[in-house]
Amino acid sequence: MLFGARQTGKSTLLRRSLPDARHVDLLEADTYRALSFRPESLRESLRGDERVIVVDEVQKLPSLLDEVQLLIDRNPRLRFVLTGSSARKLRRRGTNLLGGRARTRYLFPLCWPEYGPSNLSRVLSVGALPAILLSEEPHEDLASYVGTYLTEEIRAEALTRSIEAFSRFLAVAAQTSGEQLNYTKVGNDAQVPPRTVREFFGVLADTLVGYELPPYRALTTRKAVATSKFYFFDLGVAHALRGTREVVPGTEAYGRALEHHVANELRAYLAYRRRDEALTFFRTRSQLEVDFVVGERVGIEVKGSGRVSERDARGLAAMMDDVPLKRRLVVCTEKTRRRLESGVEVVPIGEFFEELWSDALV
């Protein structure tokens, strides 16, 4: 089961890597109608020489999973790759999730090894969705993507009763991306009850458009916060929702964008490399903070403006009272790598990504 938000490239990846497989696309109206009327027609149409079947957007027809299980049980040599851009319908009670028969993987927007250092500034401006990054009109395409998401994922699947309320919520949620969840504040700004706001954030997570970053809580000398942060899966989508067309180096907005993108890169790296380390953040009630903690070994603070000083590493110093971090880093826009007197490493953003993806960080 390969999950990923719309336009991350699931179908393209599978058509290129599995050219001889049979591809069943449930976004095709005639295919969807035929299989929704008679799911068993998938089994009946199977040829004896087929070994791999790809089913795109399987969440549109959860009942098809019963046929998939039957085919797997009857023919151990047969393999399925099932893609989805939403896990919401598949999680409903009674849905067959192929327990014990399927592995789950995720596809993310392009990462550092794919877009490279020459495209980092563009990624920070328009995000890393393949079609957007390569587009000659990225901002227009991002606006279209957001509109498509609203109509196809939300209205078509009837995930919420009020598309207008959800649209207002989306704009506010994008403004607070990277901040701790505050349902009451978001609800007041979006004119939506806090209980509904909580449900809306659940919709974003289920449709893979956003994710929660939990706090690190295994502290003994300090009290940690208990509320997660929320990030959108792609920086460009967050920009489009809040109407941002440019991020200027040296500004607070640039620092937020850099932090957001580092979060997405770390999340993708841990998933692709199948690392067991948890990704969290550290914050005390007194507002001492570390942006990201990988397992219990690496603490990472991200700074997008100015020259890094010991003041920028206060959260990393505070965390060392409870967690013996093996590495403490401030990732920044400085050009040269150096080390502060406290032992904290100051690492340029490009070198950080190179180290991360070469498996030298974790």
Render pLDDT for 23-36 as a digit per residue (tens, 0 to 9). Answer: 999 989 999 999 99
CATH number listed for the domain at residues 2-106: 3.40.50.300
234 neighbors 208 (Cβ within 8 angstroms): no
Render pLDDT for 129-158 as a digit per residue (tens, 0 to 9). Answer: 999 999 999 999 999 998 877 666 666 554
Please give the share of the chain, as a percent, with pLDDT higher than 70. Answer: 93
pLDDT for res 338: 95
Q: What's the average model confidence in pLDDT over 214-238?
A: 86
Q: What's the average model confidence in pLDDT over 38-53?
A: 88
Instruction: Please give the Cα distance from 323 to 316 (Å, whole number).
Output: 10
Q: What's the average model confidence in pLDDT over 308-316?
A: 92
**pLDDT band of 63, cuts 50, 70, 90:** confident
Annotated domain spans of the chain: 2-106, 112-357
Is residue 347 pLDDT above 60, yes or no? yes
3-state secondary structure at position 109:
coil
Instruction: Identify the residue with better confidence: 222 or 319.
Output: 319
Count of all residues that appear for the chain in the document: 362
Q: What's the average model confidence in pLDDT over 198-227?
A: 85
3-state secondary structure at position 107:
coil
Instruction: Identify the residue with better confidence: 82 or 207.
Output: 82
Looking up tokens 């505050």 gives 182
Please give the share of the chain, as a percent, with pLDDT higher than 90. Answer: 63
pLDDT for res 38: 92
The arrangement of strands across the sheet holding 22-25 comes to 22-25, 52-56, 79-84, 2-3, 105-106
Instruction: Identify the residue with better confidence: 153 or 52.
Output: 52
Is residue 219 pLDDT above 80, yes or no? no
Q: What's the average model confidence in pLDDT over 72-76?
A: 87
Q: What's the average model confidence in pLDDT over 332-360?
A: 95
N-terminal to C-terminal alpha carbon distance within the chain? 27
